[in-house]
Amino acid sequence: MKNNNLKAWLYLLPAVLFLGFFLVYPLIDVLIYSFEEGYNYASQTYFGVGSYNFSYVLHDPYFLQALKNTFILVIITVPVSTALSMLISVALSSIQKLRNLFQTVYFLPYVTNTLAVGLVFMILFKQTPYSDGLVNTVLSWFGISAIDFISGPYWAKMLVLCIYTVWVVMPFKILILTGSLASVDEIYYNAAKVDGTSKWRIFRKITLPMISPTVFYLIITGFIGAFKAYSDAVALFGTDLNAAEMNTIVGYIYDMLYGTSGGYPSYASAAAIILFVIVLTITCINLLVSKKHVHY
Amino acid sequence: MDYEKIEKAARNRKRALNTVIYILLAVWALVVLFPFYWMILTSLKSYAAYNSEWVPQLITFSPTLQNYVDAFTAVPLGGYFVNTLIFTLATTAIMLVVTVLAAFAFSRLEFKGKNLVFTLFLSLMMIPSELVVITNYVTITDLDMRNTFLGLILPSVASVFYIYLLKENFSQIPDELYYAAKVDGTSDLRYLLKVMLPICKPTVITVTVLKVIECWNSYVWPRLVTDDQAYFLVSNGIQEIRENGFGRENIPAMMAAVVVISVPLIVLFLIFRKKIMAGVSRGGMKG
């Protein structure tokens, strides 16, 4: 038995080393960093211990901007993408022909490089001296004058960011929802059909309760994912997100660590912990709400 | 009788609903595919043609491959490509070894505190990467591993989710097989390599492909630890191209680079479509 113990740990050793060194230790370390005031990266010294880093971050206009952007992004994209994916998944589940083809097509954005495809969205929306771009051309058919969506007004930039984010997160949601819809037992539908129940009523009274755990799973992961938005914004607006007023919380963390305003791991740590607390709070609220509404 | 009328009306209603459904699905397919069409189309337009289009044209009658030549000669796209390939292959290979060994220990071997350790492992899945990246950045910098492949690879290896996925699959193999192998005097490692891995090949492939996708698309960590172009991966490369390459206006060449970067993953997806989708739906959250 003792021999077996040793052997098991030997097999686990690589995983333990990797996880310990790059996942567990950093988790503890980030807490320490966040409370070390005036940490100097070059000399590895700090003045004292306290909550100054948090107060600095919370008073930094760039962080407040990032916080605002992230919240707007979350509030818009999570409901929109969840509702849209629900609509598409229900439609997808009700057809037989071409279903596989549609499913494959819909999953495509999941496997593409966010940065690369973001560039395509950028040129679709961008207004240059040579051309208004495709989106503006389409808008002009409806009598809407050209807007620079990439370096123009704030709401236009936010709109593009939201559209791109929804485009990126849809594959995952559609995949999960169609899987969940397929697992609802046919018996319930047949019983409802015998009773002559209308389609809308079937959806509300049978389908929705049956898939409600999946829907809440998607909402929770959607919130978490949206709070961590970053690469989408970089893809559209470039690496200097502060200048574009489009920074996100995660973007702020990385900028603090490295980049134009870089070299402050303490501030970065404090911001990361604030983000973590926000996400944790929202997730807990979600779980509480879901307890009330998820049907089994 | 009215019966026929009612049936006809019901049939018509059903047909109308079906038409609406197909239109909806087709519209979304268009939304998904259009950016891909646009990037291929733009990459085939010549620089002069693209810039003379005040109204963007939906089709080009004089396609050119010049942009692809530019993408590989004017900017070091080939280098980014090779870097990404090295990074992806090395990370995935090391990850596989680490993951298979750990999954084997959890599923096959008995040791004290196994359940506790496994629970601890699972709880690690909840740690957001944003929290740990800060210290990892400092660690790698202190070890003088910025702008090296080791610095890129080492922190990207560990994946608790894949250990979990593989462990679940390993556990489904009946114990009898193990005891039979033991009676024959097979060592644990040999049993793992010759029996378990071949049986669980589908899951191993799923894990591999998911990791390859993850590596190919990784942006945040490579951006932090590399500032020397010689070590850029494709994600950072495309950002560099956008900001400094080609001159800002050469969009067709930029799109050619985007196509070149996207194609490998799309091919991979079309080959392993079912495995990827099954793996992702089992809990593979992006990021």
The amino acid sitting at B220 is V
8 Å CB contact between B216 and B265: yes
Closest CA to A73 of A286, A215, A224: A224
What are the residue boundaries of the structural domains of chain A, listed by start?
A: 1-50, 61-293
**Which pLDDT does position A40 carry in this prediction?**
65
CB contact under 8 A, A272 and B25: no
B77 contacts chain A (CB < 8 A): no
**CA distances to B8, B27, B203 from B282, in Å:** 44, 28, 11
CA distance B96 to chain A (A): 11
**Which pLDDT does position B269 carry in this prediction?**
93
User: What secondary structure letter does DSSP report for A21?
Assistant: I
**Which pLDDT does position A296 carry in this prediction?**
54
Residues 83-122 of A with CB under 8 A from B: 87-88, 91-92, 94-95, 98, 102-117, 119-121
Between helix A154-182 and helix A208-227 the angle, nearest 10°, is 140
Between helix B273-281 and helix B201-217 the angle, nearest 10°, is 80
| Nearest-angstrom CA–CA distance, A247 and A234 | 9
SS3 state at A260: coil
Residue B276 phi/psi, 5-degree rounding, is -65, -50
What are the residue boundaries of the structural domains of chain B, listed by start?
A: 2-66, 75-245
Suggest the residue from A111, A114, A128, A219 to mutate for an interface test with chain B (most B CBs closer than 10 A).
A111
Whether the per-residue pLDDT at A197 is higher than 60: the answer is: yes
Domain A61-293 CATH (choose: 3.40.50.10140, 3.90.1150.10, 1.10.3720.10, 3.30.2000.10): 1.10.3720.10
Suggest the residue from A1, A23, A80, A107 to mutate for an interface test with chain B (most B CBs closer than 10 A).
A23
| Nearest-angstrom CA–CA distance, A114 and A232 | 6
Q: Alpha-carbon torsion B95, B98, B103, B106, what sign?
A: negative
pLDDT in tens, B59-115: 888 888 888 998 888 888 999 999 999 999 999 999 999 999 999 999 988 888 888
What CATH superfamily classification does B75-245 receive? MetI-like (1.10.3720.10)
Per-residue pLDDT of chain B (287 residues; tens, 9 = 90+): 678 888 888 888 888 988 999 999 999 999 999 999 999 999 998 888 887 877 788 888 888 888 899 888 888 899 999 999 999 999 999 999 999 999 999 998 888 888 899 999 888 888 888 888 888 988 898 888 889 999 999 999 988 889 998 998 999 999 888 888 888 888 888 999 998 999 999 999 989 998 999 999 999 899 888 888 899 999 888 888 888 766 656 888 889 999 999 999 999 999 999 888 888 887 654 43
